[in-house]
Amino acid sequence: MTKRYSAIAPLFLASLAVVVSSGVVAQSAADYPHKPIRVIVPFSPGGGSDVIARLVGARLSERLGQTVVVDNRPAAAGIVGTDIVAKASPDGYTLLLVTASHAVSAKLATKLPYDPMKDFSPITEVIASPFGALLQPSLPATTMKEFIAYAKANPGKLNYGSSGSGGSPHLATELLMSMTGMQMTHVPYKGVAQYVTAQLGGEIQFSLSNMFSTMGHWKAGRLRLVAHTNPKRLEAFPDLPTVAESGVPGYEASLWYGFTAPARTPRPIIDKLYREITAIARAPDVRRMLVSQGNEVITNSPAEFAQVIAAAAEKWGTLGKRLGVKLD
C-alpha cells in the first residue's frame, strides 16, 4: 500500500498543480484588469505610434475602468522599449504598440535581446496607413515626378530623415531610391517628431512619414505633401496621387500599428484586449476620424496579426539585408 501510494502521489500532485494553475489563470483573467495598464511606445512622442497608443489608451481606460498609461521609450529603432515588454510579466498589464519595425528587427538586428516572433503575443493590428511623401517647401518641386527628377539631377546633395536605421521610414525611402536611381543622404533621428521638426527647419529636404501625425504641417503649407505610398488612391484624399502613378510603377509601402503583449499572456486576457481594442477602432466616431486621415481600419484577429508580422519581417527584412542595414 505504501509503495502504491508513493507511486500515485507525484501524479496526483502534478494534476493538482495543473488544476490550481488553471484556476489561478482563469481567476486572473476574470478579474482583469484590477490595476493600471502600461502601454510601451518604443518611439518618441508625437509620431504615429504615440498618437494611436494615446487614442486607444484613453478609450480603453474608459471601457475597462482602469488607468492606461502610455510610456514612450525611444531608442535603437524601437529595440529598447520593446525589450521592456519582452521581459515584463505576462499578465496583461504591460502592452506594446508595434509597427513593421518590430518585425524587421528580427532580420536585421545582430544582437537582439529578444525574439520578435516568440517573445510576444499578438493582439490586433489597428490600422494600416500610407506614408506621405513630404518635401521641404524651399525645393523647386511641386509634384513627386518633379522631385525625383530634381533629386536625380543633384545626387548626394539632398538629405532625408527617418526614425532610425532599419525603421520603416528608412527602409521605405531606401526602396524608393533603389527604384528611381535617386541618391540622398540618410539622417536618422530618434523619432518621427524629431525628423519632421528637422525638415521644417531645413536640415532635411525629404521624408516619408505617416500622414495623420503630420497633417497639421502639410495642410498649413509648412511641408509639401506630393504623394502617398498606398497602391491606390485614398478615399479621404482622392486628388492626391500615389507614388506608383508618379513615375515609380510597382512601388508600395505602408505603416501598420498594432498591439502585442508578452508571450504566455493568458489567452482569455488576449481575447478580452482584442475585443476591447477592436470595439474602440470600429466605433463610428473613431473609425470616421481614422479614415478621414488616410488610414484603413483593420482590427484583425491575433492569429491574422501574427501573419502580418511574419510577412513584414520577410519583405522589409530581406530588403534591409540586401542594403546591408544592421541594427546594433
The better pLDDT of the pair 255, 155 is held by 155
Residue 5: the pLDDT is 46
The answer to whether the Cα torsion of 57, 58, 59, 65 is positive or negative is positive
Q: Quick one: 90 and 235 in the same domain?
A: no
pLDDT at 190: 79
Q: What is the pLDDT of residue 21?
A: 44
- In the predicted model, what is the mean pLDDT of the chain? 89
CB 111 within 8 A of CB 265: no
User: Is residue 77 one of the residues assigned to a domain?
Assistant: yes
Range of the domain at 164: 130-246
Instruction: Report how far residue 19's alpha carbon sits from residue 123's, in angstroms, rounded to the nearest whole number.
Output: 26
Q: How confident is the model at residue 11 (pLDDT cuts 50, 70, 90)?
A: low
pLDDT-based confidence at residue 27 (cuts at 50, 70, 90): low
95 and 154: one domain? no
What is the C-alpha to C-alpha distance for residues 205 and 198, in angstroms, rounded to an integer?
A: 9
pLDDT at 282: 97
Number of domains the chain contains: 2
The predicted pLDDT at position 146 comes to 98
**Range in 30-34, 224-228, 267-271 with the lowest mean pLDDT:** 30-34
93 and 143 fall within a common domain? no
At 119 the pLDDT is: 96
Residues 6+ apart with CB under 8 A from 123: 95, 258, 259, 260, 261, 270, 273, 274, 277, 302, 305
Residues facing 296 on adjacent strands? 128
Q: Which of 271, 246, 45 is nearest to 147 (CA)?
A: 246
Please give the average per-residue pLDDT across 170-181, as a whole number.
Answer: 94
Domain at 55, CATH number: 3.40.190.150
Distances (CA, A) of 292 to 99, 132, 223, 235, 322: 21, 14, 19, 8, 36
Q: What digits encode the pLDDT tens for the residues 261-294?
A: 999 999 999 999 999 999 999 999 999 999 999 8
| Separation between Cα atoms, residue 182 and residue 172, nearest integer Å | 13
Same-domain check for residues 120 and 193: no
C-alpha cell at position 8? 500515485
Mean pLDDT of 10-17: 51
For the chain, what is the total number of helices (H) and then of strands (E)? Answer: 11, 10
